[in-house]
Amino acid sequence: MQSDQIEYAVELIANSRYLVALTGAGISTPSGIPDFRSPGSGVWEKTDPSVATLSSFRHDPRAFYDWIRPLVRLMLDARPNPAHIALARLEEMGLLKELITQNIDTLHHKAGSKIVHEVHGHIRDATCIRCYSVYPSDEFMDTFLETGAVPKCPRCGGTLKPNVILFGEQLPMGPFLAAKKAAQKCDVMLVAGSSLEVAPAGQLPLMATVNGAKLIIINLAATYMDEAAELVIRGDVAEVLPRIVKALEADITI
């Protein structure tokens, strides 16, 4: 990572009319939450991904909850890292208009971001797969983490499913439509910590560039959009984003 790359990122962001960010698992790994696909360390290296399919959940929710229990512990204990805080600061400065995230860990909210489109859902709520009643996860989370018991609906006894998107499940319409509109509206999109391998969220940068937006990609690994990007920075988002924000703060009077 060169200083001129930081300077160019600052220039693109400072001169943007409508900046939108897209974040993936790589922004939360510095907070101790593992990603799913990194060779040697990704969650799917040790676990069959079928455990996170909608059909598997309906057939055997116990297997799903046994698998996700340690991950939920990590998410609840995790704290926003400098990358999350930097994006919240960009919004506070009036530069970042909307944030799209593929993460379910709620760390952007914890960092102070306000306009966040969680296209893969979140762990704050759960829905009964029988009667579709929705409950705050706080109502059963302590018991689940302590005992591992599969959460049940207080109303009908059906299994509660966390409001996270499993394989084979459609994305939540509201957040994804908002994300698509943001991708179409932006003139600069900042991709931070996403491999862009998961569709349809990973196609949002392509949508943005088709509509004339410039693309900034900050990620440790290559993505399919690198050649179309205005700027690609190979680096840790928890190091790069704070440097960009610090430079912006020095140049812009708030």
Clarify whether residues 98 and 125 are in a common domain. Answer: no
133-to-95, 128, 129, 180, 241 alpha-carbon distances in Å: 38, 5, 8, 28, 39
Which pLDDT score is estimated for 44?
A: 44
Clarify whether residues 179 and 251 are in a common domain. Answer: yes
Clarify whether residues 236 and 196 are in a common domain. Answer: yes
Q: What is the CATH number of the domain that holds 130?
A: 3.30.1600.10
Which pLDDT score is estimated for 45?
A: 47
Clarify whether residues 187 and 251 are in a common domain. Answer: yes
Which pLDDT score is estimated for 254?
A: 42
Which pLDDT score is estimated for 1?
A: 55
User: What φ, ψ does residue 213 adopt, rounded to 5°?
Assistant: -75, 150
pTM of the model: 0.92
E runs forming strands in the chain? 19-23, 96-101, 116-118, 121-128, 134-136, 160-164, 188-192, 214-218, 231-233
Clarify whether residues 126 and 252 are in a common domain. Answer: no
Clarify whether residues 227 and 146 are in a common domain. Answer: no
| Contact by Cβ (8 Å): 159, 152 | yes
Which pLDDT score is estimated for 194?
A: 96
Clarify whether residues 1 and 116 are in a common domain. Answer: yes
| Cα gap 181→81, rounded to integer Å | 28
Instruction: Give the structural domain span for 109.
Output: 1-33+80-120+171-254
Print pLDDT tens along the chain (254 aa): 588 999 999 999 999 999 999 999 999 999 999 875 444 444 544 667 788 899 999 999 999 999 999 999 999 999 999 999 999 999 999 999 999 999 999 999 999 999 999 999 999 999 999 999 999 999 999 999 999 999 999 999 999 999 999 988 999 999 999 999 999 999 999 999 999 999 999 999 999 999 999 999 999 999 999 999 999 999 999 999 999 999 999 976 44
Clarify whether residues 102 and 218 are in a common domain. Answer: yes
Q: Tokens 């319409």 — which residue?
A: 173
Residues known to be catalytic: 120
Q: What is the CATH number of the domain that holds 101?
A: 3.40.50.1220
| Count of domains forming the chain | 2
